[in-house]
Amino acid sequence: MRPLRATDYPGIDLSIDIVLWGIVIVGIFSFIILAYGLWRFSAKRNPVASRTTPLAFRRLVFLDVAVLIFDIALLAVNIYFWSDLLIQNDDESIRERAASENAEVVHVKAIGRQFFWTFLYPGPDGQWDTNDDIIRGNTLVLPTNAYVVVDITSNDVVHSFFLPHFRIKYDAIPGVNTRVWFKTTQEGKYEIACAELCGSGHYKMRGIIEVLSEKHYQEWLKQISGNAYPQYAALTPEAGTASPNTAPSNEKTE
């Protein structure tokens, strides 16, 4: 079973269903073609080699072309659904979506390190790389009914930012900044996993997304804003001065 979907974007689940059943259909059809070919053109049925292309063989080629077209159609369906998440992810498009639904936009940065996730918020001034930037280790706190924009990178090796409940999976690559977005719809706690083998501690690289009501999120934000940590530079890939195996020692947890 799929994990509970905590976002209102249904296209990913639909694309998974279409691809799954498409693979089943293509697989069955391909085995039928293979079995027919082995039977129809066996040595027992064709003791003398033919110098012309049999009609049955031409029909098999036609069927193979039909399967190829079906595969291309499956690819097109996936491109249609995933392009909405992975291509139309610029600030303007996301702000327009949020404005049309009267939803909040939360922008965070996710940094993968062996073997934990670090999340950064811009702080009360709304600006990055300032002394009030908020740093959280392995816990991403978000409001419900919000569009969440995540800029992803890694400080050491390739990790994979995997949010099964939000149908998001994207690699965190050293020196490369990538972006994904999703919308929160249900309060609760959800898993953050690393889906890329990143070293001996890969199995324990797990975090939590905590989705709060808007009221509780604002209360949390006020509380944590007074405890912002001016350590952002030590956690960026460019600086790389923090130990890769330990989270910030003075990071506060609730």
Q: Model confidence over 39-82: pLDDT tens digits?
A: 887 888 878 877 777 777 777 788 878 888 888 888 888 888 87
Q: What is the tens place of the pLDDT at every residue in 198-222?
A: 999 999 999 999 999 999 998 888 8
**What's the Cα-to-Cα distance from 30 to each of 22, 47, 232, 251, rounded to whole Å?**
12, 26, 54, 56
| Buried/exposed 213-250: b ≥16 CB within 10 Å, e otherwise | eeeebeebbeebeeebbebbeebbbeeeebeeeebbee
Q: What is the tens place of the pLDDT at every residue in 93-151?
A: 888 888 888 888 899 999 999 999 999 998 777 888 888 888 888 999 999 999 999 99
Give, rounded to a whole angstrom, the gap between the first and last alpha carbons of the chain: 32
Q: State the Cα–Cα distance between residues 229 and 122, nearest whole angstrom.
A: 11
Q: Which of 251, 13, 17 is nearest to 135 (CA)?
A: 251
Q: State the Cα–Cα distance between residues 87 and 81, nearest whole angstrom.
A: 10
What pLDDT was estimated at residue 125?
A: 79
**Worst-scoring range by mean pLDDT, 20-24, 116-120, 151-155?**
20-24
What pLDDT was estimated at residue 108?
A: 93
What pLDDT was estimated at residue 112?
A: 93
Question: Which residues, at least 6 apart from 207, have a Cβ–Cβ distance to it below 8 Å?
Answer: 116, 117, 138, 139, 140, 191, 192, 193
What pLDDT was estimated at residue 13?
A: 83
* Residue 173 binned pLDDT confidence (cut-offs 50, 70, 90): very high
* Residue 191 binned pLDDT confidence (cut-offs 50, 70, 90): very high
SS (H, E, C) 111-172: EEECCEEEEEECCCCCCCCCCCCEEEECEEEEECCEEEEEEEEECCCCEEEEEHHHCEEEEE
Tell me if 161 sits within 8 A of 192, measured CB to CB: yes
What pLDDT was estimated at residue 253?
A: 39
Indicate whether 159 pLDDT > 80: yes
Neighbours of 20 (CB within 10 A): 10
Q: State the Cα–Cα distance between residues 58 and 144, nearest whole angstrom.
A: 58
The tokens describing 218, both together, are 């604002």
How much of the chain is helix, strand and coil, in % rounded to 5? 35, 25, 35
Average pLDDT over residues 149-170: 92
Q: Which of 228, 157, 150 is nearest to 198 (CA)?
A: 157
